[in-house]
Chains A and B, each alone.
Chain A
């Protein structure tokens, strides 16, 4: 079965750090772009970061640049999000997702086709 399982969320004080993990099964993470998306309580979805398949290209939303780092461990078939200098506004459910390629009329598109169940991060003193 193709699935993603996040872990590592919890309560952390402002300025603290947390590392989220996302374990994949049923597919190889190194063959796909992988993404983190978050959702603050009662709010909409926000794309956070992604990482290129089999490479080191990364992209981040401006609000987390310089504080968050996305990475991948191919041997463990897992995705990570290292979050430093956390702020109250980072409080959210964090989802990892597979960013798959789809072809339509000979043009390639991508979309998030597999999602984890989410892990809650609470930043509070």
Chain B
């Protein structure tokens, strides 16, 4: 199975900060990676698909980059509503695997 390693596991940042979360795959996964946001007690929400494509309705301060084994989710200017846990997910091979999550605290 492809292992997805996310870093950091948690971070504290201020409103307006630029935040970067990374995800590394144990083998090449092309651009078959998505980023999801989950708020406490809620279902995850798709932010980015195919590594760098913004899902409809998601604010443009979110962006994704990378291919192969190294991927990045960037929040250009952190907003209070961005307090959440972020997960990457590879959809290159089975079983699908998530990163362990990054908790963003404001």
| Cα separation A94 to B34 with both chains bound (whole Å) | 20
| Cα separation A50 to B95 with both chains bound (whole Å) | 10
Cross-chain contact B31 with A115 (CB below 8 angstroms): no
Size bracket of the B interface = 20 to 34
Partner of B101, one of A45, A113, A116: A45
| Cα separation A107 to B98 with both chains bound (whole Å) | 22
B35 to chain A, nearest CB (A): 9
Max count, chain B CB within 10 A of own CB: residue among A35, A37, A60: A37
How many chain A residues touch B (CB < 8 A): the figure is 24
- Asked if A59 is at the interface (CB within 8 A of a chain B CB), the reply is yes
Cross-chain contact A111 with B34 (CB below 8 angstroms): yes
| Contact A104 to B95, CB < 8 A, known contacts A44-B87, A47-B89 | no
Would you list which residues of chain B between 69 and 98 have a CB under 8 Å from chain A? 87, 89, 91, 94-98
Partner of A45, one of B32, B38, B46, B95: B38
Cross-chain contact A113 with B46 (CB below 8 angstroms): yes
A33 to chain B, nearest CB (A): 10
| Cα separation A46 to B101 with both chains bound (whole Å) | 11
Q: In the complex, which residues of chain A have a beta carbon less than 8 angstroms from the beta carbon of B31?
A: 104, 107, 109
Q: In the complex, which residues of chain A have a beta carbon less than 8 angstroms from the beta carbon of B62?
A: none
Partner of B95, one of A47, A107, A109, A117: A47
B50 to chain A, nearest CB (A): 4
| Contact A45 to B87, CB < 8 A, known contacts A111-B34, A112-B34 | yes
Instruction: Name the 9 nearest CB pairs between A and B, nearest first.
Output: A111-B49, A47-B96, A115-B43, A109-B50, A104-B50, A111-B34, A61-B95, A45-B98, A44-B101
Complex A-B: 22 CB contacts under 8 Å: A37-B44, A44-B99, A44-B100, A45-B44, A45-B89, A46-B98, A47-B97, A59-B94, A62-B95, A104-B50, A109-B31, A109-B49, A109-B91, A111-B34, A111-B50, A112-B34, A112-B46, A112-B89, A113-B46, A116-B43, A117-B43, A118-B43
